[in-house]
Amino acid sequence: RTCDQLRCTACDFRVSLFNDYIWDQSCDYLFFRNNMPELSKLRAKMIKKKGARAYACQCSWRSIDALTDLQTEQRLRWVCGKH
Containing domain of residue 26, as a range?
A: 1-60
**What's the CA gap between 8 and 73, in Å, rounded?**
13
70 found inside a domain? no
Instruction: Note whether residue 77 is domain-resident.
Output: no
Query: How many other C-beta atoms are found inside a 10 Å radius of the C-beta of residue 19?
Result: 9
61: phi then psi, degrees, rounded to nearest 5:
-150, 155
Q: Is residue 53 part of a domain?
A: yes
Domain count of the chain? 1
| Residue 80 counted as domain residue | no
Say if residue 83's pLDDT is above 70: no
Spatial contact of 7 and 13, defined as CB atoms under 8 Å apart: yes
For residues 3-13, b (16+ Cβ closer than 10 Å) or e, as one string? eeebbbeebeb
Tens digit of each residue's pLDDT (9 = 90 or more) over 15-65: 999 999 999 999 999 999 999 999 999 999 999 999 999 999 999 999 988
